[in-house]
Amino acid sequence: MKVLSESLLIRDGFFCGRCFRTEAYRAVWFIEEDELKIYSNSGSLECVFTGHEIDQVEEVPSANESIIRMPERVTETDTPVRRAA
C-alpha cells in the first residue's frame, strides 16, 4: 500500500503526531497516547494499535515489498482493548 501523503500534527504549537494517507485509509499516530489509529476514507475507525503491539510487528520480505504481520488482536474474553473515537 503506497502512502500518498504524510503530515505532522501540531496542537497548540506542539508536535503531537503524524498522519498518513493512502487511497483507502488514513492512519494517525498520536505520540502522547502511543497509539496508531486506522480510519477508512469514509471516516470510520477501523482499528487501534498500541505502541507495544506495533513493536511486535514482524516484517517478512517478499519479491516486491515487505509484508507486515500484525500481532493477533485481544478477544473479548481476554483483556479489553482500549478504543478511542
pLDDT digits (tens, 9 = 90+) for 7-58: 999 999 999 999 999 988 999 999 889 999 999 989 999 999 988 887 776 5
In the predicted structure, residue 77 carries a pLDDT above the cut 90: no
Compute the average pLDDT of residues 65-80.
53
What pLDDT score was predicted for residue 63? 54
Domain segments of the chain: what residues? 5-56
Contacts of 11 by beta carbon, 8 Å cutoff, 6+ apart: none
In the predicted structure, residue 85 carries a pLDDT above the cut 50: no
Q: Which amino acid is at 5?
A: S
Helix H or strand E encompassing 27: strand 25-30
Q: SS3 for 6?
A: strand
